[in-house]
Structure 1
Amino acid sequence: MLRDTVSNLVKFHDYLISKIDPRVRDYPLMQDPVHMTSILLTYVFLSVYIGPRLMANRKPFRLNTAMIIYNLSMVLLNAYIVYEFLMSGWATTFSWRCDLIDTSSTPQAFRMIRVAWLFYFSKYIELLDTMFFVLRKKQTQITFLHIFHHSFMPWTWWWGITLTPAGGMGSFHAMVNATVHVIMYFYYGLSAAGPRFHKYLWWKKYMTAIQLTQFVLVSIHISQYYFMEKCDYQVPLWIHLIWMYGVFFFLLFSNFWIQAYIKGKRLPVIEDIPKQNGSTSVPISVVANGNGKHLENGNGNVHNYTNGKLVLGKVKEI
């Protein structure tokens, strides 16, 4: 029984390897699903179990400089990814309707393959978001939504770019996601840059609205497939999965929005501390129900109020 199971797993593994598109086979992490799955499982284990225990009796690290460099680097990386997606099809030859998978060996096809892989690889870099939380002892911010989004995205994208690396209309959601991340990482770069940038952080609430808009755009674009008279997209399964992805994450982020800004669990009431000894007043977050978690003070911290006790933390919707 065990021997048959192992034999079947080996056969399935070999079958997957044989289906990897030869144009992407030599890229890092593209050789088989074992390596990337192992990395993501390790990430989850470190974030949820090992990391918090290692930091339990240690002081939180102050990583403001590292966070500024990281966030602004991610702005540049994602801006480059958006540009490459546009130049490899979306702003040049694509119709934005039934754009088929490119199986050719043209320069444009290889350009799309390179940017698709770069987008995929950027998802592993983004795992550092969680590591910053762990090292700064912000464990309360590592939610199910946070972990699921960070691990599920690269895992699913491996299957997409190993089988169809130049995915046509199936790559639209990646371009939109990279665009959102330009805005998001710019915000977090400012939030880590110091109090002098605090006045520019008033739009945090709208980050979730931008995320929701992303999933609406993705769902609308991919839904065109179901209303076209003819669209011979080579792998319809990708269409169905992308549609489900857009709807599923829209529901998850909508729930976050409701909990955070309608029910008020993260929505702060801003008040000013009176000036004392000539010092400048500092805005604080006062939340009546004691569950608020949300006010950037310009250096990556947030004033949290839980049962009347002030705790330092950070809310980061990704």
Structure 2
Amino acid sequence: MFANILDFLNRSPTDPVRLPLTSSHWPVLTVLTIYMVFIKVVGPMFMRNRKAYDLHKVIQAYNIVQIVYNTVLLVVGVYFMLGPGNYNFKCISNLPLDHEYKNLERWLSYLYFFNKFMDLMETIFFVLRKKDRQISFLHVFHHVNMVYIGFMYLYYYGYGGHGFFVISFNMIVHIMMYTYYYQSSLNRDLQGDLWWKKYITIVQLIQFGIILSHSVYTLKQPDCITSRFSATWASIVSVIFIILFSNFYVNTYILPQKKAKKTLR
């Protein structure tokens, strides 16, 4: 497996069309470095002696944009996979470079990748609002991973294919997540979280379970060569996130309830 990964990393891009931020590693690494330096060093130093910024309206607008963006992308993406793209879900491959709908596949994949940069704004808002407790390892790791893995896929593997099928589940999670954020922002005096917050994490775990199952199914087909690397990487990432999100769910929702029950006794 590791030999296959090295061979993959040493090869040139399979698609000659390089959209913005996909021409080399450096633009993406530069953005992620600036992001990390700001949220860990510059941002906290800047906010140390300042009051938290009131970004209520800005965040509401951001949430609406994310809901609309992911909904449109999901609808068009499903239509593309079932219609013009005619994906074979038993063994999903990228459309040929000369396919009449290749540009649509490129832009749908790219728009999802660009959305991962938009997601970084969430952490910036946390810093400016002094919500440091929300900048957890899981939060940062998830955002950084999604950006860089997205780039790696587009650069080495090409636009669309198995990876595009995988990300469609993430769009569903994002629609739920940003709907929750928007709904909770409508009542700033709300005590506690909305009742369905924990189900976002459950849906995330289901998402990774489906991706893992489909990826393993793909890998068990010896004649399915085109999706092999994508399925291998998706399997590894899914296992990592299942562990991390399960740990988050247990520590956030299960253990506090057990402690509360012990206190009442």
Alignment map for 1:88-127 (pairs within 5 Å): 88-90=80-82, 93-127=86-120
Alignment map for 1:130-149 (pairs within 5 Å): 130-149=123-142
Distance in 1, matches of 2:38 and 2:192, equals 35
Of 46, 67, 70, the match for 1:75: 67
Of 189, 213, 233, the match for 1:241: 233
Unaligned ranges ≥5, structure 1: 1-14, 270-286, 289-318
1:42 maps to what in 2? 34
Distance in 1, matches of 2:14 and 2:33, equals 22
1:19 maps to what in 2? 13
Which of the pair is proportionally richer in strand? 1
SS of residue matched to 2:130: coil
2:158 maps to what in 1? 165
> What amino acid sits opposite 1:71 in the alignment?
N
- Residues 191 and 198 in structure 1, CA contact (< 8 A), matched pair in contact too: no
Alignment map for 1:232-271 (pairs within 5 Å): 232-233=225-226, 236-264=228-256
Deviation sequence 1:60-110 (CA, Å, 0-9, x none): 011111111100110000111112221222455123211222222223221
Deviation sequence 1:234-261 (CA, Å, 0-9, x none): x622221111111110111001011111
Q: Aligned pair in 2 of structure 1 residues 143, 197: CA closer, same or farther (>3 Å)?
A: closer
Deviation sequence 1:112-170 (CA, Å, 0-9, x none): 11010000010001101001100000011101000111111111111111233334223
> What amino acid sits opposite 2:125 in the alignment?
F
Q: Aligned pair in 2 of structure 1 residues 118, 204: CA closer, same or farther (>3 Å)?
A: same
- Residues 40 and 151 in structure 1, CA contact (< 8 A), matched pair in contact too: yes
- Residues 172 and 218 in structure 1, CA contact (< 8 A), matched pair in contact too: no
> What amino acid sits opposite 2:231 in the alignment?
I
Of 180, 183, 188, the match for 1:190: 183
Distance in 1, matches of 2:99 and 2:44, equals 48
SS of residue matched to 1:264: helix
Deviation at 1:22, TM superposition (A): 1.2
- Residues 90 and 96 in structure 1, CA contact (< 8 A), matched pair in contact too: no
Q: Aligned pair in 2 of structure 1 residues 21, 104: CA closer, same or farther (>3 Å)?
A: closer
> What amino acid sits opposite 1:219 in the alignment?
L
Distance in 2, matches of 1:103 and 1:208, equals 36
Matched pairs, number: 253
Percent of aligned pairs sharing the same letter = 29
Deviation at 1:174, TM superposition (A): 0.9
SS of residue matched to 2:256: coil
Tell me the TM-score normalized by structure 2.
0.87
SS of residue matched to 2:87: coil
Deviation at 1:179, TM superposition (A): 1.4
Deviation at 1:20, TM superposition (A): 5.7
SS of residue matched to 2:195: coil
Which of the pair is proportionally richer in helix? 2
**1:154 has 2:147 as partner:** yes
**1:56 has 2:48 as partner:** yes
> What amino acid sits opposite 1:162 in the alignment?
Y
Distance in 2, matches of 1:189 and 1:64, equals 10
Superposition CA RMSD, Å? 2.6
Tell me the TM-score normalized by structure 1.
0.73
The structure, 1 or 2, with the larger RCO (C-alpha pairs under 8 Å, 6+ apart) is: 2
SS of residue matched to 1:263: helix
